[in-house]
Amino acid sequence: MGKRTNLLGKRVGKLTVIEECEKDKKGKIRWLCQCDCGNKTVVSATLLIREKTRSCGCLTIEAVIKRNTTHGLRYSKIHSVWNDIKNRCNNKKGKDYMCYGGRGIRVCNEWNNNFKAFYDWAYESGYKEGLTIDRINTDGNYSPDNCRWATMKEQSNNRRNNIFVSINGVKVSFVELLNAFGVPRSSGYYRYYNGLFPIPSNKLNNAHMREE
């Protein structure tokens, strides 16, 4: 027979012992407990003393809901984005590591260890399908203060290896400049890398350009 220990008022997890119950068929002592969620449950004294039972079962349900809420997004686009930025910065064997982690770019601790934090920031910052994560400072880390959501065109204009020029005091990307003057990229880059003025003189009109 179980040795009686007075557990009245004892608190274990979300349970508070409120009343002694009849012993079970093996003669072991049991107690009626009030759970914080509002339910009541009968628990053996042994499980309460060892703190093996900590709720009426609601903690298990909450864990399942949390797991499904978070990891139910495992195959979503936003989860792939999170994995991708971590892979770029953390995986030394990854194909993109040298351009990111190899240059000292990191994923902030807040995001690196917590998908939910990244997920919340993403939707608070305007994330939607079709946008990509873009670092404002291309030499900076992946962090809330240095990231935004952009279209592929906007992001391509912010790449580290892009060429920027200034026309009449306005900074634009080399690609935007070529598009504005209707110059094919192949021709524009050929002229640039061969030391020629990137835009043919017959297309320049009165614009003044200098490289940034």
* 13 three-state secondary structure: coil
Instruction: Mark 78-96 as b/e (b = at least 16 C-beta within 10 Å).
Output: bbebbeebbbbbeeeebee
Per-residue pLDDT at 145: 94
Which residues, including other chains, have CB under 8 Å from residue 47's CB and lie 6 or more apart? 53
Per DSSP, 101 falls in state G
Low-confidence ranges of the chain (pLDDT < 50): 1-2, 160, 205-212
Q: Are 177 and 165 in contact, with CB atoms under 8 Å apart?
A: yes
CA distance 170 to 200: 20
Per-residue pLDDT at 172: 65
CA distance 118 to 205: 47
Per-residue pLDDT at 94: 85
pTM of the predicted model, to two decimals? 0.45
| Token reading at 112 | 């690196």
- Parallel/antiparallel/unpaired status of strands 40-44 and 30-35: antiparallel
Per-residue pLDDT at 60: 77
Region for 146 from its dihedrals, namely left if φ exceeds 0, alpha if ψ lies in -120 to 50, beta otherwise: alpha
Q: What is the pLDDT of residues 117-142, one digit of tens each?
A: 998 899 899 888 888 898 888 788 99
Per-residue pLDDT at 26: 87
Per-residue pLDDT at 18: 95
Per-residue pLDDT at 211: 45
**Residue of 62, 58, 61, 25 whose CA lies nearest to 44:** 25
Per-residue pLDDT at 210: 46
Name residue, tokens 């020629």.
Answer: 196
CA distance 11 to 1: 24
- Parallel/antiparallel/unpaired status of strands 170-173 and 209-211: unpaired
Per-residue pLDDT at 152: 65
